[in-house]
Chains A and B, each alone.
Chain A
Amino acid sequence: MSLIDNLSIGLKSLLTQQKALEVTGHNIANVNTPGYSKQIPILTNADPVMIGNFFLGTGVELSEIHQVRDRFLDYSIRNETQTKEGYYAQQRIASLVEGIFAETDDTGLNKAITTYFNSFHELSVNPENAALRNNVISAAEDMVNMFHARDENLFETQKRVDTDISSYISRVNTLTEQIAKLNGQIVTAAGSNINPNDLVDQRTVLVEQVSELLNVNAYETDNGSLTVTTISGKALVVGSEWFEMKAIKDPSNNNYSNVFIENRGNLQDVTGDITEGRIGGGLEIRDNFIAQLRNDLDNLAYNIVNEVNSLHQTGYGLDGSTGNTFFDPLTGPTSKAAAKNIDINPALFSDVNLIAAAGTNNPGDNQIAVSIAEIQNALVMNSGKTSINDFYAGMINRIGNKTRNINEMLQVQEDLLVFLENQRNQISGVSLDEEAVNLLKFQRAYQACARFIETVDKMSDELLQRM
């Protein structure tokens, strides 16, 4: 090997150290980039050449820029994120619902119901009294308005969750489109033996963002592309192709949206697959938690109307009339929409003497008033097993327990994720201390290489001078 050849060793080494420095610089620049994994320049000695009886080395080269990434940690984090975001979505709404049913003060549906029935007690002591009759109507109005308001609140909350779900679905599509594009770029780069480290980082971030919205399976194929599917295997991203998610209204469920994937003209219903992430949490709250509460509220209103009406119709008003209902009758085989539709018989507004307190046509008779008042203690809910008060307390209890449970699970997930993120950070995160040392390292090596080149240059110069 000639002296001049040494120059190429020097140059190659110089460039290699420079590249290593660039990687260091890249790391430092990305110290705060979310999802960035630090890259390590792998320096290997270049292939030696055979000169005479010796292998002579040919310097250093950069064989690989290695990305420090723990695949299993990525998978764990993605998994736990799905779960956490599911609880997070549920918690936001459960807190709202809890607020709707805040009952510790002397207001609220429970109090309104109690006051309504107690107004009949008051009436029973002086059934002839017009002021007390007006109070009954007034208390009934409060209760009816409360039912309407609660139903409205729950309905609005449900609608809001539904709207959220639709917008999350749009977001999923934005993400999967980008993932598909990155897949294409990564496969091409891998094919040309270039490590697409930064592209992989970006793709990982996107997949994690998808996981926030719904639970997915994501696995790498041999050519480096990431396949993303729902948990039952319906494809969202395959290679550089992505499949659009759609929100389709279900008329059998108040026209709330179900989730579909469109795959080559076929619509696949994946609503059942989505149990976690923000979409999963939203579905659970919308279709189970709130739906159940509305059902319970309807049952309560329905039974109150029917129990009061059937007693009231047998009773006599002060004017001697009988057969009047207190509330507008709630028709319909089921109790659906009872809470929205409950209303006082309008005839009672114009003449409170129609209120039937008496069991016989005598003004001092208060039997019906007493019986109606005591409905609140009777077992009229759950097919004769539960009283109105216990039923309502049961509703509040369920709300409380569910909310508490969600809060606790969310806490557990948050703790777990903090731990896992820390782990990942230790492995993949950029340490400014470490990079500072690397800066020095590669800078010195660069300087030394430069010195080497200078030395060879001087030696060549000497040689040339002599010629």
Chain B
Amino acid sequence: MIINGNTGVGSFLYNISKIRERMDTAIRQISSGKRVTRPSDDPSGMSNIMNLKKLTDQGQQYIRNIDQSLTFMHMTDSVLQHLDNLIIEAKSLAMEAASSTVSSDARQAIAEEIDSIKNEILSLSNTKILGKYIFSGTKTLTKPFEDTGGTVVYQGNTDSVQIQMGKETPVSINLTGDQVFQNDDDIFDVMSDLSNALKSNDSDGIANSLDRLETSLNQVLRYRTVIGKRINLVDNTKQRLEEFNLIAAGEISNLEDADIAEAITNFMKEQIALDASLGAGGRIFTQSLLDYLG
């Protein structure tokens, strides 16, 4: 078998180019920090990465939804707390006025305070957050309560505002005005009736209002509990989502990130191979018998 000068050339060049290709891959990994930059680098790994990224993207969206809902619910709760305080104040005024030693003039004065509390409650009931009324159900651009010559009428609807916080059923985040202010007893009526009783010096009427104020207080309390529970539920959901995202991010990193140390080692290995090959090639191809004749 005669090995002539050309035998090695083809495979020599081919092998050199393969070394350079491997060096190129190593450099790409080092500079991008990623093991998988193209689908063909690892097709099934790529699928997994895409799926995980989709899940984390979605998780983050749900978290954003939750954050906004929490703002809404916390504000609702704060309104309810304010309402609570107002009713307590009204109750304390009513108790004071119920005493038989109070003069009718004094009762007149108290009646005015009750009126002003009623207006504050009306104001509260028409609270807006981010440009929408919080107690109107889904008729968020319509004022929930309108004072039509003495009687307060509810103009919202009874639909719930539902926010998607995951793939499960959506969570209702609102309370409707008819629930909070009018469910067991109509707070506005209670206030009007109390004011009238005070103005007409009606002791029985005043006593009756005390019971009704108690009912109203419990009503508000009940809905504060509802909101409180919802806030807890939503907080837990958020926590679960955040934990999942953390794990998923770790997994994505595992699949996607290059092992820099390994890539650098590979690069250096190939560098050495390249040097050696080029050096050897340089020597072999230059000699033949013709160098030595004549």
Contact = CB atoms under 8 A, between A and B. Distances in A.
Interface of A: 31-32, 94, 98-99, 101-104, 110, 114, 118, 121-122, 124-126, 128-129, 358, 360, 362-367, 370, 373-374, 376-377, 389-390, 392-394, 396-397, 399-401, 403-404, 407, 414, 418-419, 421-422, 425-426, 429-434, 436-437, 439-440
Contacts of B42: 400
B64 to A, nearest CB: 7
B39 A433 contact: no
B3 A363 contact: no
B279 interface: no
- What secondary structure prevails in chain A residues at the interface with B? helix
9 contacts: A364-B139, A364-B159, A370-B163, A393-B50, A397-B39, A397-B43, A399-B39, A400-B40, A437-B289
Given A364-B161, A389-B51, A104 B256 contact: yes
A396 B5 contact: no
A430 B47 contact: no
Given A125-B65, A399-B40, 18 more contacts: A31-B5, A104-B38, A121-B64, A121-B164, A366-B163, A377-B167, A389-B50, A394-B47, A396-B39, A396-B47, A400-B38, A421-B10, A422-B7, A422-B11, A426-B1, A432-B288, A433-B4, A436-B293
A187 B124 CA distance: 108
A118 to B, nearest CB: 5
Interface residues of B, number: 57
A341 to B, nearest CB: 26
B236 to A, nearest CB: 19
A84 B39 CA distance: 22
Contacts of A426: 1-4, 7
Nearest to B69: A125
Interface of B: 1-7, 10-11, 14, 34, 36-44, 46-47, 49-51, 54, 57-58, 61-62, 64-65, 68-69, 130-132, 136-141, 157, 159, 161-164, 167, 170, 174, 256, 288-290, 293
Contact of B50 (A98, A110, A125, A366): A110
A440 B293 CA distance: 9
A104 B139 contact: no
B65 A418 contact: no
A77 B57 CA distance: 52
A126 B131 CA distance: 9
B137 A362 contact: yes
Contacts of A102: 37-38
A206 to B, nearest CB: 20
